[in-house]
């Protein structure tokens, strides 16, 4: 079995606690002669174990630093997805398929507490190091947690592009939102549209930033950006009409549905009076009234490649640890040449 990079050993715990490796072994195994260890020393060792997330190998290979063939999966969403219509379901299907192919078991981390609506992978009783490495999912991942994972050299792969953490390259399998959005803009302009707008935050998560970046690259810096403050759909529609916009690029599908319904309430025809393009898959439950033109992510393939990359890292054969996959363009019925 290959050696697992970044796995804490009893020697590491001993160094951090300022004790001998023998003392750590006695505490971990609760052997009879552990009674001679001072209570404050025992408490110090246990505190370091809790804070570092150290876990003994389930197969009793405590000192060999060998792989357990167990991969962790952690999502930063408060409630783990379970339905086929959920945004994360295709990712999980790809993760499962790749793990099965590689002969690994999956360990779903569910004990993380929710604080301020967000789960944290590092907490007092985390069992992160039971797994050889971990796949992380979530729209936004706290920078401080990525920094700690990089600093501790724990093997992990993010699903979705992530910025560097304290100078360390964060491994990821992401979607090429920049190129996909730019291609859509070029297609829209080829149909004769000249007044374009972007609707959505365009900031916060890397995926939002990338969408707006692709739009700006192709549409120019002067194109209007609406919705950064979360205005109601009717107000956004009014702004679009006043600016003479003929095609709007909407970051989230549920917002595109809101704009579509607001346009219908005004008696407008989509796409004859206003073309709408949805930039990605639905991240919240929504029942679109029509098939929106736009693009979709290769979510199942992203899940597969995330596990492939992680297992490659564990076995020392991963050359490129940051990959962006092309998005799939969707024809839809919400794009047409401008009526005016």
- For the cut 90, the answer to whether the pLDDT of residue 183 exceeds it is yes
| Mean pLDDT, residues 50-64 | 54
What pLDDT does residue 283 have? 77
Q: Which domains does the chain have, with CATH numbers?
A: 10-174+301-325 (3.40.50.2300), 177-297 (3.40.50.2300)
pTM score:
0.78
* pLDDT-wise least confident of 52-66, 145-159, 308-322: 52-66
User: Omega of the bond prior to 271 within 30 degrees of 0, cis?
Assistant: yes
Reported in sequence order, the residue ranges of the chain that DSSP labels E, i.e. its strands, are 70-75, 105-108, 114-115, 118-119, 133-137, 156-159, 172-175, 196-199, 225-226, 247-250, 275-279, 293-296, 322-325, 328-330
pLDDT digits (tens, 9 = 90+) for 225-267: 997 667 889 999 999 999 999 999 999 999 999 999 999 999 9
Percentage with pLDDT > 70 across the chain: 89
Q: Is the distance from CB of 127 to CB of 140 less than 8 angstroms?
A: no
* pLDDT-wise least confident of 39-48, 59-68, 225-234: 59-68
Pairwise CA distance, residues 101 & 95, whole Å = 10
**Structure tokens given for 232:** 């109601």
Pairwise CA distance, residues 226 & 217, whole Å = 17
Give the other-Cβ count within 10 Å of 83's Cβ: 8
DSSP codes joined into one string, 147-169: HHHHHTT--EEEES----BTTBP
Pairwise CA distance, residues 104 & 315, whole Å = 13
Pairwise CA distance, residues 191 & 337, whole Å = 5
Please count the residues of the chain.
340
pLDDT band at 68 (very low <50, low <70, confident <90, very high): confident
| Mean pLDDT, residues 105-119 | 82
pLDDT band at 78 (very low <50, low <70, confident <90, very high): low
What pLDDT does residue 59 have? 37
């Amino acid at each position: 079995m290959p050696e697992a990079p970044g796995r804490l050993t009893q020697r590491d715990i001993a160094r951090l606690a300022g004790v001998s490796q023998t003392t750590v072994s006695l505490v971990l195994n609760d052997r009879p002669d552990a009674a001679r260890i001072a209570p404050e020393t025992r408490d110090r060792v246990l505190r370091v174990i809790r804070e570092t997330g150290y876990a003994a190998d389930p197969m009793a290979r405590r000192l060999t630093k060998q792989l357990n063939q167990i991969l962790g999966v952690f999502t930063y969403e408060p409630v783990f997805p379970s339905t086929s219509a959920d945004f994360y379901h295709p990712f999980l299907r790809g993760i499962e398929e790749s793990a099965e192919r590689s002969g690994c078991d999956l360990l779903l981390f569910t004990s993380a507490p929710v604080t301020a609506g967000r789960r944290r992978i590092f907490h007092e009783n985390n069992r992160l190091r039971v797994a050889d490495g971990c796949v992380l999912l979530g729209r936004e991942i706290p920078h401080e947690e990525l920094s700690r994972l990089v600093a501790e050299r724990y093997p992990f792969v993010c699903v979705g592009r992530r910025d560097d953490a304290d100078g360390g390259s964060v491994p990821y399998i992401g979607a090429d939102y920049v190129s996909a959005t730019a291609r859509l803009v070029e297609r829209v302009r080829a149909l004769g549209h000249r007044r374009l707008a972007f609707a959505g935050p365009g900031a916060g998560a890397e995926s939002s930033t990338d969408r707006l970046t692709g739009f700006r690259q192709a549409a120019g810096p002067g194109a209007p950006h609406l919705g950064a403050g979360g205005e109601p759909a009717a107000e956004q529609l009014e702004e679009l009409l006043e600016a003479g916009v003929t095609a709007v690029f909407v970051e989230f599908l549920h917002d595109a549905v809101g704009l579509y319904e607001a346009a219908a309430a005004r008696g407008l025809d989509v796409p004859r009076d206003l073309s709408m393009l949805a930039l990605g898959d639905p991240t919240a439950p929504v029942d679109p009234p029509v098939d929106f033109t736009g693009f979709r992510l290769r979510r199942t393939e992203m899940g597969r490649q995330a596990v492939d990359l992680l297992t490659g890292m564990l076995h020392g054969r991963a050359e490129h640890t940051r990959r962006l996959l092309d998005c799939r363009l969707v024809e839809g019925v919400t794009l047409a040449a401008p009526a005016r």
